[in-house]
């Protein structure tokens, strides 16, 4: 098991290094001069000011040296300095990260609270009306864009009924964006839970357990649940990773002061250090969650520990 953990940590480390290197190359891939783009609307965009900006960003160095220097700084926790606010990118992310994390956790809890029971209901009622209803709801959930669902919930609960505020960062303000994210991803959780449980219920040892006269709840929760968790954990982990970095649209719809909203502001302002930092933070969160999923596999599946 220790060897498995070591391998996964090593793979995650080199993956993060690769992401940082690619993020460092980003400035040179974007068409045009980044300094000209950033200072296009500035009244102080003199040749001297632009040269000073290039030196400040290290753009006057050779490309390979810029990339290696950026990678070294990121590994030390320095994501650079925001062009617009002249503040540390890492500090700005740390200020917004609690809001993003709380919204991601809230959305995940709602998705699991709705998706897991629906998936179980669909699996144990295969071929019946209950499964059809659940699958229709799941297809609708996957098909509806998150921003459109968010606008509907905002119109209903905030503008029509007046139960919840439209935007902000308080505990009441998190309900609508969390509900939007939860309803968006619960369909995926329900479908994967159904598929995983149906696959397990068709195994020979499940038929043997039923032939021995065990009650259905014993078959489901004692013999079928743990093998099905392996597939379910994968979906849950990836959903959480995407919630951490991928809730950009929802944060902007509800004016939630998270990392996603900060990233959109950086894109509109052409703040390249901030955009690079967002790429690194989001990719790292996905890599770390994927690593934790692989390690959790080892505890859930003895075959991985043996291999």
Q: What is the pLDDT of residue 304?
A: 59
Nearest to 62 by CA among 25, 36, 20: 25
Q: CB-hemisphere CA count at 13 Å for 299?
A: 7
pLDDT per position as a tens digit, 41-87? 565 667 777 777 777 766 667 777 778 888 888 888 888 778 776 78
Total residues found in the chain within this entry = 307
| Burial (CB count <10 Å: 0-12, 13-18, 19+), residue 9 | middle
Q: How confident is the model at residue 33 (pLDDT cuts 50, 70, 90)?
A: low
Q: What is the pTM of this model?
A: 0.80
For residue 168, pLDDT over 80 is answered with: no
What DSSP character marks residue 32?
S
H runs (alpha helix) in the chain: 2-29, 34-38, 47-57, 63-75, 89-124, 129-143, 146-153, 175-201, 204-211, 216-218, 225-246, 248-253, 259-269, 272-300, 302-306
Q: What is the pLDDT of residue 40?
A: 60
Average pLDDT (216-222) is: 75
> d(Cα 252, Cα 147) in Å, to the nearest integer?
9
Q: What is the pLDDT of residue 12?
A: 87
The residue whose two tokens read 């209903």 is 156
Q: What is the pLDDT of residue 284?
A: 86
The architecture (CATH level 2) of 98-270 comes to: Orthogonal Bundle (1.10)
Q: What is the pLDDT of residue 39?
A: 64
Domain spans in the chain, listed from the N-terminal domain onward? 2-75, 98-270
Q: What is the pLDDT of residue 20?
A: 86
Q: What is the pLDDT of residue 37?
A: 62
Q: What is the pLDDT of residue 97?
A: 85
> d(Cα 250, Cα 85) in Å, to the nearest integer?
24
For residue 204, pLDDT over 70 is answered with: yes
Question: Residue 242 CA to chain centroid, in angstroms?
Answer: 2
Q: What is the pLDDT of residue 301?
A: 65
> d(Cα 260, Cα 192) in Å, to the nearest integer?
27
């Amino acid at each position: 098991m220790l060897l498995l953990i070591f391998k996964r940590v090593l793979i995650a480390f080199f993956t993060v290094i690769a992401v940082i290197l690619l993020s460092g190359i980003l400035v040179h891939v974007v068409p045009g001069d980044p300094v000209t783009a950033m200072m296009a609307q500035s009244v102080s965009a003199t040749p001297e000011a632009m040269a000073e900006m290039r030196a400040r960003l290290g753009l006057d160095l050779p490309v390979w040296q810029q990339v290696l220097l950026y990678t070294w700084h990121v590994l030390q926790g320095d994501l650079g300095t925001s062009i617009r606010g002249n503040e540390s990118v890492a500090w700005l992310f740390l200020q917004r990260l609690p809001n993003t994390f709380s919204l991601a956790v809230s959305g995940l809890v709602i998705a699991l609270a709705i998706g897991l029971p629906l998936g179980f209901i669909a699996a144990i009622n295969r071929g019946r009306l209950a499964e059809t209803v659940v699958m229709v709801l799941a297809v609708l959930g996957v098909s509806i864009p998150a921003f459109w669902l968010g606008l509907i919930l905002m119109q209903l609960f905030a503008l029509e009924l007046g139960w919840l505020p439209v935007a902000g960062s308080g505990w009441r303000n998190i309900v609508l964006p969390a509900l939007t994210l939860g309803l968006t991803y619960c369909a995926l959780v329900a479908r994967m839970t159904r598929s995983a449980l149906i696959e397990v219920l068709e195994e020979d040892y499940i038929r043997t357990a039923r032939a021995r006269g065990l009650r259905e709840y014993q078959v489901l929760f004692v013999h079928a649940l743990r093998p099905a968790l392996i597939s379910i954990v994968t979906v849950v982990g990836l959903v959480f990773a995407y919630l951490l970095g991928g809730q950009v649209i929802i944060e902007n719809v509800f004016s939630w002061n998270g990392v996603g909203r900060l990233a959109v502001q950086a894109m509109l302002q052409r703040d390249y250090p901030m955009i690079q930092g967002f790429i690194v933070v989001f990719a790292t969160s996905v890599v770390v969650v994927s690593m934790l999923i692989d390690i959790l596999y080892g505890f859930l599946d003895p075959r991985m520990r043996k291999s």
